[in-house]
Amino acid sequence: MAKNTMFQGEMQNQRNLSSLYLNREIAALEFDRRVLANAANHDIPLLERLRYLCIVSNNLDEFFEIRVAGLKEQIKLNVPGKSPDGWSSTETYHHVSTRAHEIVKTQYHLLNNNLLPELAQHGIHFLQSDEWTPSQQQWIAHYFSEEILPLLTPIGLDPAHPFPRLLNKSLNFAIALSGKDAFGRSSGIAIVQAPRLLPRYIQLPQNLTENPWDFIFLSTILHAWVHTLFPGMNVEGCYQFRVTRNSDLFVDEEEVKNLRLALQGELPQRHFGDAVRLEVADNCSNEMADFLLKQFELNEADLYRVNGPVNLARLQDIVDLINQPLLKFPPFVPGIPAPLAKFNDIFKAIRKNDILLHHPYQSFKPIIQFIETAATDPEVVAIKQTIYRTGLDSDLMEALILAARNGKEVTVVLELMARFDEEANLKWSTKLETVGAHVVYGVVGYKTHAKMAMVVRRENGVLNRYAHLGTGNYHSHTATRYTDFGLLTANQAICEDVNNVFIQLTGLGRQGNLNYLWQAPFTLHKRILEAIQRETSIARANRPAKIIAKMNALLDPEVISGLYEASQAGVKIDLIVRGMCALKPGVAGLSEHIQVRSIVGRFLEHSRIFYFYNDHREEVLLSSADWMERNFYRRIELAFPILDPKLKKRILREGLKYYFNDNHDAWEMDSSGTYRHRKKRGKPHHAQASLIELLKKENPATII
């Protein structure tokens, strides 16, 4: 008990915050370092390494658009206080800037010194202008005059032409000029914006090259012919640049009367928020860089000089374009669970037993079939579903529209504030309402992040419910790239809980008691803390106690505090945290019984699994929520138990055991927040590849 009292005193001592928590922004950048390490890993196929490089660029874009933008806003407003790790916003910003510059430097070093030379060895070239043959130069000149020049609008800066309003993350060129134009003007600087319609790289025709895949960057072409835009003047320099802006939407949900209309008005402004980062070509003159920084009201720390395209994310299309199977991960066809393959009637299969789906190793098609069948089944009377992210092209959403047309009662809780998916969700809301579906936008002040669907079917004169609960979005594309679990069940107690949550979201009323589900913002946080405390009490009674959790992020201070206390009591705690983790593992007297690892592989680890040993009773839950304050207090989230012992064993095996044995994609975290690749001791074990093979054998059916 003395040890616990000491711990509580330390937790209350604000001066020791930095010894208890790691910074979330640095933790996010550390995840990008792990992804970037895959771009340098020669055990990974070459084009997939290029994809990892592009993923880091995408991640950094969003990091600056949201997280760095938020830090800058706090600094600007002089917001008092510190984050749980003890850093102020200014301190965090300076640390973030240093780390981000290091990552970007490593990115371009990998691109220029490793990836591009290796791609060239496989016949994939990105040609510079001094490499063009006369016939290639002639073709490119024609392409410029016919396809590029008509779309360009050079803007010479003078009192009548101020610095243009540039779109977020658009490709632009700053041109240094000398001489006078036809009107005698000599501003010295012009801006050329590359229209979004233009491809960022162009493939040369096969008859002009000996290589199977020769490309030229749009920036290379424009550099070669930029002088044609300024006849009679001298081009002293041409520098590509890109500005990243604050893209976090602000809609005061408590003030607006119509959230959809307010969001429609706010979306166009997303592209013109305050600047937070400036990327320029590494050959950009200091004078031009200073000029651009001044225009965007940025400082030197916000400037990123790069040796290559300013937007590496655009190269991801190359990976999909090039048909070189040996340079990519081996393809596989996800299987269909045997219970579903045996029955033509999906409802009969679900009535017989709960069905667990493990994506992407098992197909997402059964989820689509669940809704498509309900849309046309004459016995189905109602369908209810939450939608957070689903994409612009969605068979599942089309099935809901068909169901409404067929006279079913269709209710969709559509989250309009799903970041960067707002526009897609707005379009689906219009389509659904047009056919008579009930569309609601959740609860003001809370994002509806829970993944649940319910079908009500009349069977032998009685209305029965069927439900799907998941850890991932109803998105067919991400279901092939993210690891997630989904449960199809006809358990009426669970289905009753699902129905009550839908009533809560669409109607008005007080929180009701649920049979099995843990729900944020009401009970999820409390139940998790209680489960941790229960293991702590069991350990103090000298009985075996264990906690295993798998999630995307672990940041909530109260949960971390509970885990520290459990560790001190002797609870063995194993955590798989893909991304941000503020907990410090392995600290003597604090967290020596806690291990943290991260899996960064072919698929994005996205499932959330919570396991509590519970005196041999082994409680297993799946959830839509990470252990973050926003998920506990500002979102509608669900955690649902796995009741079937066979399915519980599957989750322990497929979702946890395989990952703890992994010595291929696993990184282990130390108390400083530093990750190191797990050493390959003994037999090689690659969790994701092994699961592909395991579920291929157990689920041979591939057509549903």
352 lies in some domain: yes
Same domain as 343, residue 283? no
Which has more pLDDT, 699 or 477?
477
What percentage of the chain exceeds 70 in pLDDT?
A: 92
Does residue 349 surpass a pLDDT of 70? yes
What pLDDT sits at residue 264?
Answer: 54
pLDDT band at residue 391 using 50, 70 and 90 as cut-offs: confident
Last residue of a domain, one of 510, 528, 556: 510
Does residue 310 surpass a pLDDT of 80? yes
What pLDDT sits at residue 1?
Answer: 37
Does residue 56 surpass a pLDDT of 50? yes
pLDDT band at residue 594 using 50, 70 and 90 as cut-offs: very high
Question: What mean pLDDT is predicted for residues 407-421?
Answer: 84
Question: Can you tell me whether residue 529 is helix, strand or coil?
Answer: helix
Same domain as 530, residue 430? no
Closest C-alpha to 421, from 475, 340, 489:
475
Same domain as 413, residue 273? no
Same domain as 463, residue 391? yes
What pLDDT sits at residue 2?
Answer: 39
Q: Which of 371-385, 439-453, 570-584 shows the lowest mean pLDDT across its residues?
A: 439-453
What pLDDT sits at residue 338?
Answer: 86
134 lies in some domain: yes
Which domain, by its residues, includes 647? 519-698
Token pair recorded at residue 374: 């309900």
pLDDT band at residue 5 using 50, 70 and 90 as cut-offs: very low
- Find the helix or strand (DSSP H, E) in which 687 lies: helix 687-698
Triad 137, 143, 144: Cα angle to 5°: 90
Same domain as 559, residue 440? no
What pLDDT sits at residue 445?
Answer: 84
Please give the single-letter amino acid code of residue 112.
Answer: N
What pLDDT sits at residue 426?
Answer: 84
Closest C-alpha to 33, from 688, 702, 598, 656:
598
Please give the single-letter amino acid code of residue 193.
Answer: Q
412 lies in some domain: yes
Last residue of a domain, one of 510, 533, 561: 510
Does residue 63 surpass a pLDDT of 50? yes
What pLDDT sits at residue 262?
Answer: 53
What pLDDT sits at residue 181?
Answer: 73
Same domain as 422, residue 274? no
Does residue 475 surpass a pLDDT of 80? yes
Strand partners, 196: none
- Give buried/exposed letters for 571-607 (b at 16+ CB in 10 A, else e): bbbbbbbbbbbbbbbbbeebbebbbbbbbbbbbbbbb
pLDDT band at residue 273 using 50, 70 and 90 as cut-offs: confident
Closest C-alpha to 168, from 64, 260, 266, 240:
64
289 lies in some domain: yes
Last residue of a domain, one of 510, 534, 567: 510
Q: What is the mean pLDDT of the chain?
A: 91
Question: What mean pLDDT is predicted for residues 256-280?
Answer: 67
Q: 609 with 622: CB under 8 angstroms?
A: yes
Does residue 670 surpass a pLDDT of 70? yes
Question: Can you tell me whether residue 16 is helix, strand or coil?
Answer: helix
- Alpha-carbon distance 302 to 300, whole Å? 5
Which has more pLDDT, 340 or 639?
639
- Alpha-carbon distance 388 to 372, whole Å? 19
pLDDT band at residue 678 using 50, 70 and 90 as cut-offs: confident
Does residue 263 surpass a pLDDT of 60? no
Same domain as 288, residue 144? yes
CA distances from 407 to 345, 376, 379, 427 (A): 21, 10, 12, 21
Tokens 């006279």 sit on residue: 407
Same domain as 617, residue 486? no
Please give the single-letter amino acid code of residue 425.
Answer: N
Same domain as 478, residue 355? yes
Same domain as 425, residue 531? no
Tokens 């300024």 sit on residue: 230
Does residue 418 surpass a pLDDT of 70? no
Q: Count up the domains in the chain and report the number.
A: 3
Residue 264: CATH number of its domain: 3.30.1840.10
pLDDT band at residue 494 using 50, 70 and 90 as cut-offs: very high
627 lies in some domain: yes
Q: Which of 55-69, 268-282, 478-492 shows the lowest mean pLDDT across its residues?
A: 268-282
Residue tagged active-site, from 449, 475, 593, 686: 449
What pLDDT sits at residue 160?
Answer: 66
Does residue 204 surpass a pLDDT of 50? yes
Does residue 420 surpass a pLDDT of 90? no
pLDDT band at residue 10 using 50, 70 and 90 as cut-offs: very low
Question: What mean pLDDT is predicted for residues 427-443?
Answer: 91
Same domain as 563, residue 539? yes
pLDDT band at residue 514 using 50, 70 and 90 as cut-offs: very high
Does residue 256 surpass a pLDDT of 50? no
Question: What mean pLDDT is predicted for residues 643-662?
Answer: 97
Question: What mean pLDDT is predicted for residues 327-347?
Answer: 90
Same domain as 361, residue 298? no
Residue 541: CATH number of its domain: 3.30.870.10
pLDDT tens-place string over residues 145-199: 999 999 999 998 876 678 999 999 999 999 999 987 777 777 789 999 998 889 9
Question: What mean pLDDT is predicted for residues 598-612?
Answer: 97
Question: What mean pLDDT is predicted for residues 422-427?
Answer: 81
pLDDT tens-place string over residues 106-156: 999 999 999 999 999 999 999 999 999 999 999 999 999 999 999 999 998
157 lies in some domain: yes
**Could you tell me the sign of the dihedral formed by the alpha carbons of 402, 403, 406, 410, in that order?**
negative
Question: What mean pLDDT is predicted for residues 619-641?
Answer: 97
What pLDDT sits at residue 632?
Answer: 98
270 lies in some domain: yes
pLDDT band at residue 528 using 50, 70 and 90 as cut-offs: very high
Q: 632 with 520: CB under 8 angstroms?
A: yes
Does residue 4 surpass a pLDDT of 50? no
449 classed as catalytic: yes
Checking DSSP bridges between strand 675-677 and strand 666-669, what pairing results, if any? antiparallel
pLDDT band at residue 700 using 50, 70 and 90 as cut-offs: low
Q: 566 with 536: CB under 8 angstroms?
A: yes
pLDDT band at residue 255 using 50, 70 and 90 as cut-offs: very low
Does residue 9 surpass a pLDDT of 90? no
Q: 389 with 362: CB under 8 angstroms?
A: no
What pLDDT sits at residue 507?
Answer: 87
Question: What mean pLDDT is predicted for residues 48-54?
Answer: 98
591 lies in some domain: yes
